[in-house]
Structure 1
Amino acid sequence: MARVTALIVFILGFVPIVALAKDTRFWNLTANTITSLQLSPAGKNDWGPNQAENDRDRTVDHDERLKITDTAPGMYDVKFVDKSGRTCVVPNIEVKAGSIFTIEEKNLKGCAK
């Protein structure tokens, strides 16, 4: 029995931890398709890359989830542009590793066209 346990522990040592982790995702619950989505540490106005580029068609449809990459857990402001042409900034969104964060239409207050 000890040999079996040792073998299992040995094999699991070669499985990358990253492969076991879930992806961090954004869930679009706004009314429109998003064409650009950027994150900045809350209050910093230091926008990262367009995360919509992670999607096959480079957009995030309503009710679609998008894999978020190269973003550490923390509080972020999220800026997006949608197909209607509006630009929105939603402050203080918590991004947790391996979790889903959402933006809903009711959260949008300061959008510009």
Structure 2
Amino acid sequence: MSSYGSGFRNSVPAQQGTTLYGTSYGATDSQSTASSYYNETWGLFCSMHHMGCCRMGTTVGNGTVDAHGESWEVEQLYVCNDSVLPTAVGINPMITVQSVAYCIANGIADSLSGKTT
């Protein structure tokens, strides 16, 4: 078992080759077709979150926004969602995204009130 604890096995069932129930591959797919496809693509990770498509970076060359979520190219344009993360995290990013948004929003509020961070 991994160092993530016993609950991690259930968090990432693709790594265990478990059966997929439902028709997430299309409304006309049967349960057996979806399960067959799932077992053939064992270990495939995907995310409905667009993490990493607007990365934070220390320079314009390695990121779209700076550490405060502000665009390198457009002043006062901020990004405060999961796209600023460097890559997909492999688990539900809800708390991480909330934390990033909270920190960036506080920075925006501070900059509007004249405070420096």
TM superposition score normalised by structure 1: 0.32
- Flag the structure with higher strand content: 1
Say which structure, 1 or 2, has more relative contact order (CA 8 Å, 6+ apart). 1
Larger Rg: 2
